[in-house]
Amino acid sequence: MPIATVNPANGETLKTYEAMGEEEIERRLQLAEATFRTYRMSRFVDRGRLLLQAANLLDEDQRDIGRIMTTEMGKPVKQARAEAAKCARAMRWYAEHAEALLADERPPDADVTDSGASRVRVRYRPLGPVLAVMPWNFPLWQVIRFAAPALMAGNVGLLKHASNVPQTALYLEDLFHRAGFTEGCFQTLLIGSGAVDGILRDERVRAATLTGSEPAGRAVASTAGDMVKKTVLELGGSDPFVVMPSADIDRAAQVAVTARVQNNGQSCIAAKRFIVHTDVYDAFAERFVAGMKALKVGDPMQEDTEVGPLASEQGRADLEELVDDAKRGGAAVLCGGRRPDWPGWYYPPTVLAGITREMRIHREEAFGPVATLYRAGDLDEAVLIANDSPFGLSSNVWTRDEAETERFARDLEAGAVYVNGMTASHPAFPFGGVKRSGYGRELSGHGIREFCNITTVWQGA
């Protein structure tokens, strides 16, 4: 895949870039290693000061970088600006909390005495250069939620971004440099996916994090396993959105629309499978379909656009295949289901009902504004349908029954359970999944400790 900015609203190639050669890659690896030796010794207060400056610069750049993101991957420009603002908030959060999150820990005194030590500490030390392989769908946020904690922990970053968002990738490197971080603290590698394996095998790279497709995750995990290197993987998701009879149906349907089409439906944590108790199925379906039909699809640069184009022509083709397979299997199309006849890689908000286990869309992630509706006879069946997926990233539950809330929190196979609200990522909450959605956690204290050497310091009497 060429490294290029291709506007998904019209298919026009705007900029192309040459991939870095071996000599430049080697220079950057050397720089990362050399920088880490000194940066790891820096104080939290100094790292935090630099990160706060980066957050301030990002706030100032919000409109410009928002337009770049929209041009490169098609999200509505209002959502792009909101993504930039969210990144700045996350940087400030880590600048404020990192030192406390990584403070030395002490076991209980009784356990220390029993070990024969006069003092025992658990210390969190940085690992070294971390390779981040990042996707295009949230081209700022996916990177910042790795970079902010990694830099505050004393690591340095090497970014291999998706090949269709090169301007965003270069902006991120420039942002950290303008903030005052030395050149080797954060570097963008303009490379194709074929170069990742060799870089990950380099001894100077100590760990890797990837957000992306399951095949990409398998490839990185395989290489990292061969090299015995730590990885964090955030892969696909096909999140359930369960609606029970006690729910506020109007509110649930309203949030369901946003939960399905946020970022043009191209979000791993977007709700995709809507599992509704039979007692309220018809009422929910009527409201949900009406809301999906009412969305404005169009030019993502327009302030009132709610759904823009998909990021790539191949992405739209993959989505169409899933929908067409469901149609052939007997699924009912309640709205959408056919591409519009105008330029760009648009696909309409679509709702499918009558889904069976034989349909591909039941097992595969629909990365676009396509929702599937399921009818559940009771709570047990709702849980069974929700867990009948190879993925387990997040989940949504709508109920005002506390016993039902506890049951879903206990039994849903997911990294998060959001009750009466839409799944969202927040710097204070751990983020990640189970099953084929990956392993490890980003954000919160759990995320910043993923790329630390958790060190026991034992002192005798």
| The pLDDT of residue 113 | 73
Between CA 125 and CA 318 the distance in angstroms is 43
pLDDT, tens only, 349-359: 999 999 999 99
DSSP state of 353: E
Of 115, 149, 117, nearest in space to 130 by CA? 149
Is it the case that residue 243 has pLDDT exceeding 90?
Answer: yes
- Mean per-residue pLDDT, 439-453: 98
CA distances from 302 to 70, 138, 368, 383, 457 (A): 10, 19, 20, 40, 57
Is it the case that residue 461 has pLDDT exceeding 80?
Answer: no
The DSSP secondary structure of 216-249, one letter per residue, reads HHHHHHHHHHHHT-EEEEE----EEEEE-TTS-H
CB 417 within 8 A of CB 409: yes
Residue 153: which residues within 8 A CB-CB, separation 6 or more? 98, 102, 124, 126, 448, 449, 451, 452
| The pLDDT of residue 238 | 98
| The pLDDT of residue 335 | 98
- Mean per-residue pLDDT, 318-343: 97
Is it the case that residue 16 has pLDDT exceeding 90?
Answer: yes
Residue 299: which residues within 8 A CB-CB, separation 6 or more? 9, 305, 308
234 is catalytic: yes
The DSSP secondary structure of 99-150, one letter per residue, reads HHHT--B---HHHHHHTTEEEEEEEEEE--EEEEE--SSSTTHHHHHHHHHH
pTM: 0.97
| The pLDDT of residue 219 | 97
> Of the listed 234, 365, 442, 450, which one is catalytic?
234
- Hey, what amino acid is at 163? S
Is it the case that residue 183 has pLDDT exceeding 70?
Answer: yes
185 is catalytic: no
Is it the case that residue 111 has pLDDT exceeding 80?
Answer: no
Between CA 407 and CA 409 the distance in angstroms is 5
DSSP, collapsed to helix, strand or coil, labels residue 290 as helix
CB 164 within 8 A of CB 193: no
pLDDT, tens only, 287-327: 999 999 999 999 999 999 999 999 999 999 999 999 999 99
Is it the case that residue 286 has pLDDT exceeding 90?
Answer: yes
Of 346, 348, 443, nearest in space to 144 by CA? 443
pLDDT, tens only, 127-159: 999 999 999 999 999 999 999 999 999 999 999
Q: In the chain, pLDDT over 70 holds for what percent of residues? A: 100
Based on the number of CB atoms within 10 Å of its own CB, is 393 exposed (0-12), middle (13-18) or buried (19 or more)?
Answer: buried
Q: Buried b vs exposed e over 102-134: b needs ≥16 C-beta within 10 Å? A: beeeeeeeeebeeeebeebeeebebbbbbbbbb
- Mean per-residue pLDDT, 78-104: 98
| The pLDDT of residue 110 | 62
Confidence of residue 13 (pLDDT cuts 50, 70, 90): very high
- Mean per-residue pLDDT, 167-182: 98
| The pLDDT of residue 117 | 85
pLDDT, tens only, 358-412: 999 999 999 999 999 999 999 999 999 999 999 999 999 999 999 999 999 999 9
Between CA 60 and CA 72 the distance in angstroms is 20
DSSP, collapsed to helix, strand or coil, labels residue 189 as coil
